[in-house]
């Protein structure tokens, strides 16, 4: 090793002192920290994937389809709403989709705004593209006050507005009316990040319904969560074809490998099976919310595959207590809260057992189960 430290390098001034995205990847029996779908691909899906890879392997001397047309057709068909491949774009995870949006519509001298607490990658991708980040605020119940959101947009006039619905890490889905108000007020692009849409309660409308007549609206989705394909790295968006013309200017040529395109198409051919796990996860989520509330804890309503709960004066102690018992959750969001991803029935039982043990250490059996005394002890 040269002994050179990051600070010694001629790195961009605006990157100095930053910390990279870092959900800890710790090898423990129960991993409930990155909102993955806990159900692995079925043997039938694995077999179809292996066959698709075998078929395409003989042509790996060639570059992939640069425009991923067949995959975009499949994604449009999955999304419905009358969308065509011309309105759908895909990249390596929705994080890359977001980065391409920032490259095309952000940059030096430009700004992007989001309403926090929300997804930590929005400011990271924004500032990584030398775009100024403007933190807006959500309400105490983690919803959005449309009046205040519109006022903040009119004050700052950001080039890009992020809305996350259902939101990460709070689980909150936004009413369509709030999204419409933001779209109408925003002077630039509006990105609605719907990474968790498939987990929302039945009847929750998608922002895809707002696309007609709103050419500056982008709705992003991912196969990392509901589709149980986090390892594939496939994210996508729906928008006006002109927006995709803008993204073509900044994307790297051949950004989506032949094997990624093939894997995503096989997964889409198994949509029914993959989304079959979503109902089970929603039921586990609702049970988890009820159980945590039964422990006297505060719990945010969730339309996603995770639950935000608190409040703890020392959340680190609770996080560590769970980790000691083999359960990894996420220390994220407002300072007194923790987030648990929804796993299998067995994993959630392990979480409840570990959580009970942690709470009983912190809260003597004689003390009443109330939030106030919990906050004191933990």
Ligand X SMILES: *Cc1c(COP(=O)(O)O)cnc(C)c1O
Q: How far is the CB of 166 from ligand X (least distance, A)?
A: 9
Torsion over CA: 340, 227, 349, 323 (sign): negative
Among positions 165, 222, 232, 258, the unique one binding ligand X when judged by CB under 6 A: 222
Which of 125, 266 has the CB closer to ligand X?
125
With CB under 6 A as the rule, give the number of residues binding ligand X: 14
Among positions 48, 116, 159, 193, the unique one binding ligand X when judged by CB under 6 A: 193
Rounded-to-integer distance, Cα 172 and Cα 194, Å:
11
Of 68, 59, 125, which is closest to residue 255 (Cα–Cα)? Answer: 68
Show the site string, 13-52: x = touches ligand X by CB under 6 A, - = not. ----------------------x-----------------
Choose the binding region for ligand X from 53-61, 89-97, 134-142, 170-178 (rule: CB under 6 A).
89-97
Q: Does the footprint of ligand X cover residue 146 (CB under 6 A)?
A: no
State both tokens at 34.
């990155």
Q: How far is the CB of 280 from ligand X (least distance, A)?
A: 19
Q: In what order do the strands lie in the sheet with 160-164?
A: 88-91, 235-238, 217-222, 189-193, 160-164, 111-116, 132-137
Tokens 């390596």 belong to: 92
Residue-by-residue DSSP string for 65-130: -TT-HHHHHHHHHHH-TT--GGGEEEESHHHHHHHHHHHHH--TT-EEEEEES--THHHHHHHHTT
Which of 52, 237 has the CB closer to ligand X?
237
Query: For the chain, how far is it from start to end, CA to CA, in angstroms?
Result: 43
Q: What torsion, rounded to 10 degrees, do the Cα atoms 342, 346, 349, 351 define?
A: -50
Choose the binding region for ligand X from 57-65, 81-89, 176-184, 222-230 (rule: CB under 6 A).
222-230
Which of 217, 354 has the CB closer to ligand X?
217
Q: How far is the CB of 121 from ligand X (least distance, A)?
A: 7
Among positions 33, 85, 94, 341, the unique one binding ligand X when judged by CB under 6 A: 94
Other Cβ atoms less than 10 A from the Cβ of 364: the count is 9
Q: Within positions 290 to 319, which residues make up the interface with ligand X, using CB under 6 A?
A: none
Q: How far is the CB of 290 from ligand X (least distance, A)?
A: 23
Among positions 83, 102, 104, 195, the unique one binding ligand X when judged by CB under 6 A: 195
């Amino acid at each position: 090793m040269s002994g050179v430290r990051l600070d010694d390098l001629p790195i961009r001034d605006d990157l100095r002192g930053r910390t990279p995205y870092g959900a800890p990847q710790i090898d423990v029996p129960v991993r409930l920290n990155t909102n993955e779908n806990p159900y692995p691909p079925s043997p039938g899906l694995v077999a179809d994937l292996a066959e698709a890879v075998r078929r395409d392997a003989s042509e790996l001397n060639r570059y992939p389809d640069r425009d991923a047309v067949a995959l975009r057709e499949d994604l449009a068909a999955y999304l419905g709403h009358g969308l065509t491949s011309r309105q759908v774009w895909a990249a390596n995870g929705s994080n890359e989709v977001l980065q391409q949006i920032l490259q095309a519509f952000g940059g030096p001298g430009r700004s992007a705004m989001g309403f926090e607490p929300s997804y930590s990658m929005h400011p990271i991708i924004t500032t990584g593209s030398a775009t100024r980040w403007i933190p807006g605020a959500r309400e105490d119940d983690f919803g959005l006050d449309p009046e205040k959101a519109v006022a903040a947009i009119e004050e700052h006039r950001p080039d890009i507005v992020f809305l996350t619905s259902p939101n990460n890490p709070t689980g909150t889905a936004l009413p369509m009316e709030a999204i419409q108000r933001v779209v109408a007020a925003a002077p630039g692009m509006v990105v609605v990040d719907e990474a968790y849409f498939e987990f929302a309660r039945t009847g929750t409308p998608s922002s895809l319904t707002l696309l007609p007549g709103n050419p500056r609206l982008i709705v992003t989705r991912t196969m990392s969560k509901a589709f149980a394909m986090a390892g594939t790295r496939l994210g996508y968006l729906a928008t006006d074809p002109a927006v995709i013309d803008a993204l073509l200017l900044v994307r790297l040529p051949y950004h989506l490998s032949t094997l990624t395109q093939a894997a995503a198409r096989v997964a889409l051919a198994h949509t029914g099976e993959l989304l079959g796990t979503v109902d089970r996860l929603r039921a586990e989520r609702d049970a988890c919310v009820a159980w945590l509330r039964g422990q006297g804890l505060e719990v945010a309503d969730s339309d996603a595959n995770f639950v935000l709960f608190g409040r703890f004066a020392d959340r680190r102690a609770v996080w560590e207590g769970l980790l000691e018992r083999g359960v990894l959750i996420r220390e994220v969001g407002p300072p007194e809260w923790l987030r648990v991803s929804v796993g299998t029935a067995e994993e959630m039982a392990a979480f409840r057992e570990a959580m009970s043990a942690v709470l009983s250490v912190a809260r003597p059996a004689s003390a009443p189960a109330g939030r106030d005394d919990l906050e004191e002890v933990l």
